[in-house]
Amino acid sequence: QKEVEQNSGPLSVPEGAIASLNCTYSDRGSQSFFWYRQYSGKSPELIMFIYSNGDKEDGRFTAQLNKASQYVSLLIRDSQPSDSATYLCAVLANQAGTALIFGKGTTLSVSS
Amino acid sequence: DAGITQSPRHKVTETGTPVTLRCHQTENHRYMYWYRQDPGHGLRLIHYSYGVKDTDKGEVSDGYSVSRSKTEDFLLTLESATSSQTSVYFCAIREPGQGTDTQYFGPGTRLTVL
């Protein structure tokens, strides 16, 4: 059974701080990794993806991947109250894979 | 927003009745997916389609069937709804990309089975 694990939180950070969200996965053959943001009552919104070891930056967001440790993380710099949401980690087992396997999500709360 | 719509957006029905949810996309994507989202379980795949009339089961397919007679429409049917199928249902499409394909979600359908 392929699994994706996330700390459910809530993770609370003050405005302007760095929020660090973590995810581990069980399938060593996993190829691509995704972070979705989901506001309450809304659908998941793709914010980052990464498929190579190392860091990938997009604005205030940085995704980090370490395939040897089976670990992927999302850093949010200069956190804003509007970043308060649930963040879902998802894994694609292989490029011919059918669908994503999701973690249960981490709730982030940014206080002003 | 990847041109995905879902209908209805909200539905309340009674145990034992059939229910059909519709996902419509406007951008000719080959792959379409149905997920359900429940507290404590996250998003789980019900069924997916890789082309017209080509579908396959996901992790939680029992009690559900799907059909895809046109590229743009993917239907999810609950033949006889049960209270355990109360959930939020999301449709998704898969978009080819450089390095990896990505999935985008529709707005969701909140289904309550009484």
CB of B10 within 8 Å of a chain A CB? The answer is no
In percent, how much of chain B has pLDDT > 70? 98
Q: What is the pLDDT of residue A94?
A: 59
Please give the average per-residue pLDDT across B1-23, as a whole number: 94
The per-residue pLDDT for range B75-92, each reduced to its tens digit, is: 999 999 999 999 999 999
CA B18-B19-B20 angle, 5° bins = 130
Alpha carbon distances (Å) from A76 to B8, B60, B79, B113: 35, 33, 44, 38
Report helix, strand or coil for B1. Answer: coil
Nearest chain A alpha carbon to B101: A95
Which of A25, A32, A35, A43 to substitute to test the interface with B, most B CBs within 10 Å?
A43
A9 has a pLDDT exceeding 60: yes
Tens-place pLDDT, residues A69-89: 999 999 999 999 999 999 999
Q: Is the dihedral of CA B52, B56, B60, B63 positive or negative?
A: positive
Cis check for the bond before A10: say yes or no (omega within 30 of 0): yes
Nearest chain B CA: its distance from A58 CA (Å):
16
Q: Rounded CA gap, A91 and A81, in Å? A: 27
Q: Nearest CA to CA, how far is A72 from chain B (Å)?
A: 16
| Residue length of chain B | 114
Query: Over the stretch B28-44, which tens digit does the pLDDT of each residue have?
Result: 999 999 999 999 888 99
Strands A4-6 and A19-25: antiparallel
Segment B8-27 mean pLDDT? 97
